[in-house]
Amino acid sequence: MVAIAALLAVTLLGALGTFLVDDRHAAKFATAVSAVPLLGSVLMYYVYLTEYGGVGNALLAPGDIAFRQAVDWIELSGFTLQYSVGLDGVSMPLLTLTAVLTTLALVSSWTPIDERQSQFYGLMLLMEASLIGVFAALDFFLWFVFWEGVLIPMYLLIGVWGGPRRKYAAIKFFVYTNAASLVMFVGFFALVFSLGDSISTLGLPEIAQALRAGGALSPLAGISVDQLKLLAFVAMFFGFAVKVPVFPLHTWLPDAHVEAPTPVSVMLAGVLLKMGTYALLRFNFTMLSDVATGAVLAIMPVAIAAIGVFSVIYGAMLALAQRDLKRIVAYSSISSMGYVILGLVAFTPYGVGGATFQMIAHGLISGLMFMAVGVIYNETHTRMVGDMSGLADRMPWTVGIFVSAAFGYMGLPLMAGFAGELFIFLGSFGATETIGALAPLLTSVAMFGIVIVAGYLLWAMQKTLFGSYELETDYEINGAPFHDVAPLAVLLLLVIVLGVNPDLSFRMIQQAVNPILDVGGGI
């Protein structure tokens, strides 16, 4: 099928067209273009639910992948590089999340972006095309092109349209993530070269099958097979952990969020961070599951779980100390991604499935939070907690949605965040085969992070949204326009729908991750 190729083609051509459109029409043109991949991805999602209900993991079942298309591309040093794309129950929700957030972020850009608009919207569409490729590519070379391709528009979007320290934030983002990619690249190709003649392609499904079959690896440069697998795992984990990010590799994220314009922050938190956790699942926890579960080094899963739990608590504590609403939400993302790491390393159906579900839930909720902060900033021209109060009377719709989003972040039942965290806790609490006897303790500590989240969000809302009206700036609040509030309402609706009926995503996710865990059937 050519469905994925059509999404890529429309988005890329739309980006090029947007660069050529006059600034006065660029916003509407780009939004109209983004509606095409949005409708296409929603249709594909429906087709997947109704016709591909039994599709397994793409990296373990190359002959059973939805919307699969593979065309030979280049012969390089004995490897056949392919244009190879396809979707399974992990990548399908993430691709749809990308399309949804892109369209809503573009609509939310109509108010704050008032210069060089054709370039801004063109770069946003170019970033969307690269993100679609990251989640759909099944050939490593193709995947890596898209993976690195995301960096260019994000660097320019922060560096040109960002805040006062935008150049510093953009360079820091680019250097951190690009250096991490190089480390990951070395680790991956160490595995590929050690497979020798057993593979003739860089197809991710084929490489995953060869690695999991065992016996295909051979020593490389005097390094034993077990040592090689361990070193490759660490190199890839480092490369992807920077993108997530987890402690102590997180320092680029708050700077990028604070300096980036709000629509870019929406994409950064909602989708780009998921690139890291998605890649961890695809590479580390699928290709080298024996290392992830401690078969090569027993302490490895405990160490990864500890990193995840520390990220949860550390990110939440840093958020508690902030006064800038954007920084509060940015550090909250570090905390939430720690839950995903904990679920992955639990390596149970609920743990890995919940971690993947949490990627979707956090993408929606964090995007909603950043978008709500952006709408407040558009009206007040400040994000500092001490500079405003009593906004609920002046911006009732925006404040109501912001409060609802905050409760979703806190894990309120019947919202997507609750379902994702519940699945992770269920999966990690009983993960004694991987994390060992420390599983209940580490899970309990991670659960305490929810209390800290509630503390700083309730404090921030009480200071800024309620009480008597005060505003340190000279701007008059007239209420946000409809096109600013509408994207907030759509995202909130999606958070509630996914919380009320998690099986809209969780069932397909479960079918995709079970082959990795060697679990048949359902949970």
Cα(87)–Cα(191) distance, integer angstroms: 24
Q: What is the pLDDT of residues 90-101, one digit of tens each?
A: 999 999 999 999
Q: What is the pLDDT of residues 18-28, one digit of tens each?
A: 999 998 899 99
Q: Residue 224, CB half-sphere, CA atoms under 13 Å: how many?
A: 3
pLDDT recorded at residue 517: 86
One-letter amino acid at 472 equals: E
Q: Using an 8 Å Cβ cutoff, are 219 and 228 in contact?
A: yes
Residue 170 has pLDDT above 60, yes or no: yes
Average pLDDT over residues 142-158: 95
Q: How confident is the model at residue 479 (pLDDT cuts 50, 70, 90)?
A: confident
Average pLDDT over residues 493-507: 94
Cα(10)–Cα(27) distance, integer angstroms: 17
Q: How confident is the model at residue 61 (pLDDT cuts 50, 70, 90)?
A: low
Residue 519 has pLDDT above 90, yes or no: no
Residue listed under structure tokens 């399309």? 99
Q: How confident is the model at residue 491 (pLDDT cuts 50, 70, 90)?
A: very high
Q: Using an 8 Å Cβ cutoff, are 254 and 330 in contact?
A: yes
Residue 449 structure tokens: 């992070």
Average pLDDT over residues 212-227: 80
Average pLDDT over residues 408-436: 90
Nearest to 110 by CA among 23, 20, 33, 38: 23
Residue 523 has pLDDT above 60, yes or no: no
Q: Residue 291, CB half-sphere, CA atoms under 13 Å: how many?
A: 24
Please give the helix or strand (H or E) that residue 422 lies within, else none.
helix 416-429
Residue 178 has pLDDT above 80, yes or no: yes
Cα(516)–Cα(388) distance, integer angstroms: 50
Q: How confident is the model at residue 209 (pLDDT cuts 50, 70, 90)?
A: confident
Residue 477 is given by DSSP the state: P
| pTM of the full structure | 0.94
Residue 213 has pLDDT above 80, yes or no: no
Nearest to 204 by CA among 273, 262, 161, 147: 147
Average pLDDT over residues 46-57: 79
pLDDT recorded at residue 404: 93
Burial class, 119, CB count within 10 angstroms (exposed 0-12 / middle 13-18 / buried 19+): middle
CB atoms within 10 A of CB 103: 23
Residue 354 structure tokens: 């919940």
Taking each helix axis as running N to C, give the angle between helix 503-517 and helix 482-500, from 0 to 180 degrees, rounded to the nearest 10: 60
Q: What is the pLDDT of residues 64-95, one digit of tens each?
A: 688 999 898 888 777 888 999 999 999 999 99
Q: How confident is the model at residue 62 (pLDDT cuts 50, 70, 90)?
A: low
Residue 521 has pLDDT above 50, yes or no: no
pLDDT recorded at residue 421: 93
Burial class, 296, CB count within 10 angstroms (exposed 0-12 / middle 13-18 / buried 19+): middle
Q: Residue 45, CB half-sphere, CA atoms under 13 Å: how many?
A: 22
Residue listed under structure tokens 């097979």? 225
Calculate the alpha carbon distances from 9 to 2, 14, 16, 33, 71 in Å: 10, 8, 11, 11, 16
Q: What is the pLDDT of residues 341-356, one digit of tens each?
A: 999 999 999 999 999 9
The three-point CA angle 273-278-279 to 5° equals: 100
pLDDT recorded at residue 38: 96
- Residues 6 or more apart whose CB falls under 8 angstroms from that of 401 comprise 368, 372, 485, 488, 489, 492
pLDDT recorded at residue 57: 72
pLDDT recorded at residue 45: 94
Q: Using an 8 Å Cβ cutoff, are 325 and 457 in contact?
A: no
- Lowest average pLDDT, out of 134-148, 340-354, 446-460, goes to 446-460
Cα(75)–Cα(345) distance, integer angstroms: 36
What is the chain's mean pLDDT, rounded?
89
Cα(522)–Cα(510) distance, integer angstroms: 7
pLDDT recorded at residue 432: 83
pLDDT recorded at residue 215: 64
